[in-house]
């Protein structure tokens, strides 16, 4: 007698998506329709912020704990308010920084600029490097350099008092802030007491041409400080001044690194001429292979 065939186990019921994940999906579509560049990421980051968790643990939020204030945050982002202004925080390399109205929000592309600077300083035969960050804004660059080059002394210069307050806040919140000295002042006349002593000058200055105003993303145009964005008809007015400041501050053999727009690739290195006391002027790409920053080495004029 043949045995009866074994019956297969009943299929497991599918686990339904949590309320929060379903709302994140709806929010993603709303943000995409509003033209937000990274709708899924932003929808998840807002959900994590409102619910006091991180993006990888959104699925653990109980349905009963869904907070309707999430939709208030989504509406603000839908209106193109910067994500970082809503959450009050920005991540830059290994730092979490406080940001908000009155200060330029640090961008991911600047991380590659800082990475180059860190490698350059480490390659120098200098026990305790002296670094100057011009147009420091939130202090992101200065604090990252202090964190990743532990024996460095870093000076950050910022003209705008509101931005400088954010930098001071970030310096006080991070252990490496004790090795960052912040100064209010014009980057073009900064720190005469350090002339000829600095190993590295770095800057993410304003570099957007005034003619490009209407093409700038609303997150930047409507929320970042105007003085942190625009710099004359070709966008290079401040960088021209920084070339002179960097030459004054740097010791012989010291390096300068300056961020610029991807459309200015090839233009900025030409400002660092041999006649002006520079060598090895070059452009470098960011992680998306777009020209992003220029570097040069100071030599005797």
pLDDT tens, residue by residue, 195-254: 999 999 999 999 999 988 888 999 999 999 999 999 999 999 999 999 999 999 999 999
| Domain extent at residue 31 | 19-79
Residue 2, pLDDT score: 46
Looking at the fold, whether 73 and 105 belong to one and the same domain comes out as: no
Looking at the fold, whether 172 and 51 belong to one and the same domain comes out as: no
Residue 12, pLDDT score: 45
- Is 54 domain-assigned? yes
- 91 among known catalytic residues: no
Looking at the fold, whether 152 and 279 belong to one and the same domain comes out as: yes
Q: Which of 39, 129, 170, 204 is catalytic?
A: 204
Looking at the fold, whether 69 and 159 belong to one and the same domain comes out as: no
- Is 71 domain-assigned? yes
* Cβ–Cβ under 8 Å, residues 157 and 193: no
Number of structural domains the chain divides into: 2
Looking at the fold, whether 130 and 183 belong to one and the same domain comes out as: yes
Q: Which of 39, 82, 106, 205 is catalytic?
A: 205
Q: Which of 104, 230, 272, 293 is catalytic?
A: 104
- 205 among known catalytic residues: yes
- Is 2 domain-assigned? no
Residue 260, pLDDT score: 96
CATH number for the domain that contains residue 234: 3.40.50.150
Domain end point (choices 33, 51, 79): 79
Domain end point (choices 79, 108, 125): 79
Looking at the fold, whether 67 and 130 belong to one and the same domain comes out as: no
Looking at the fold, whether 206 and 98 belong to one and the same domain comes out as: yes
176-181: long-range pairs with CB below 8 Å, 24+ = 176/143, 176/146, 176/147, 176/150, 177/139, 177/143, 177/146, 179/146, 179/152, 179/153, 179/154, 180/139, 180/142, 180/143, 180/146, 180/154, 180/155, 180/156, 181/153, 181/154, 181/155, 181/156
Looking at the fold, whether 257 and 179 belong to one and the same domain comes out as: yes
- Is 254 domain-assigned? yes
Looking at the fold, whether 238 and 216 belong to one and the same domain comes out as: yes
What are the structure tokens assigned to 271, written together?
């400002």
Backbone conformation region of residue 114, classed left if phi is above 0, alpha if psi is from -120 to 50, else beta: alpha
- Is 237 domain-assigned? yes
Looking at the fold, whether 155 and 230 belong to one and the same domain comes out as: yes
- Is 13 domain-assigned? no
Domain end point (choices 30, 47, 79): 79
CB under 8 Å to 18, separation ≥6 — which residues? 58, 59, 61, 62, 63
Looking at the fold, whether 71 and 101 belong to one and the same domain comes out as: no
- Is 219 domain-assigned? yes
Residue 16, pLDDT score: 43
Looking at the fold, whether 51 and 104 belong to one and the same domain comes out as: no
- Is 97 domain-assigned? yes
- 104 among known catalytic residues: yes
Below-70 pLDDT ranges, the chain: 1-17, 301
- Strand, helix or coil at 158? strand
């Amino acid at each position: 007698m043949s045995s009866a065939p074994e019956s297969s186990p009943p299929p497991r019921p599918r686990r339904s998506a949590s309320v929060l994940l379903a709302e994140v999906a709806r929010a993603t579509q709303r943000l995409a329709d509003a033209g937000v560049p990274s709708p899924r990421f932003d929808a998840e980051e807002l959900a994590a912020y409102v619910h006091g968790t991180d993006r990888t643990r959104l699925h653990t939020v109980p349905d009963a704990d869904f907070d309707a204030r999430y939709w208030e945050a989504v509406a603000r982002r839908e209106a193109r308010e910067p994500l970082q202004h809503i959450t009050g925080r920005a991540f830059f390399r290994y730092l979490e920084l406080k940001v908000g109205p009155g200060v330029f929000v640090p961008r991911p592309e600047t991380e590659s600029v800082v990475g180059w600077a860190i490698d350059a300083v480490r390659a120098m035969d200098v026990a305790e490097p002296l670094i100057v960050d011009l147009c420091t804004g939130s202090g992101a660059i200065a604090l990252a350099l202090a964190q990743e080059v532990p024996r460095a002394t870093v000076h950050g210069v910022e003209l705008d008092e509101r931005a400088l307050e954010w930098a001071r806040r970030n310096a006080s919140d991070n252990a490496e802030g004790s090795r960052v000295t912040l100064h209010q002042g014009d980057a073009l006349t900064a720190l005469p007491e350090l002339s000829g002593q600095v190993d590295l000058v770095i800057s993410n200055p304003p570099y957007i041409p005034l003619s490009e105003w209407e093409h700038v993303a609303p997150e930047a145009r409507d929320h970042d400080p105007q003085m942190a964005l625009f710099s004359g008809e070709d966008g290079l007015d401040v960088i021209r001044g920084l070339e002179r400041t960097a030459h004054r501050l740097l010791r012989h053999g010291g390096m300068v690194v300056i961020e610029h727009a991807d459309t200015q690739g090839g233009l900025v290195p030409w400002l660092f001429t041999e006649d002006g006391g520079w060598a090895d002027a070059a452009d470098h790409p960011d992680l998306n292979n777009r020209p992003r920053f220029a570097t040069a080495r100071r030599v005797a004029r």
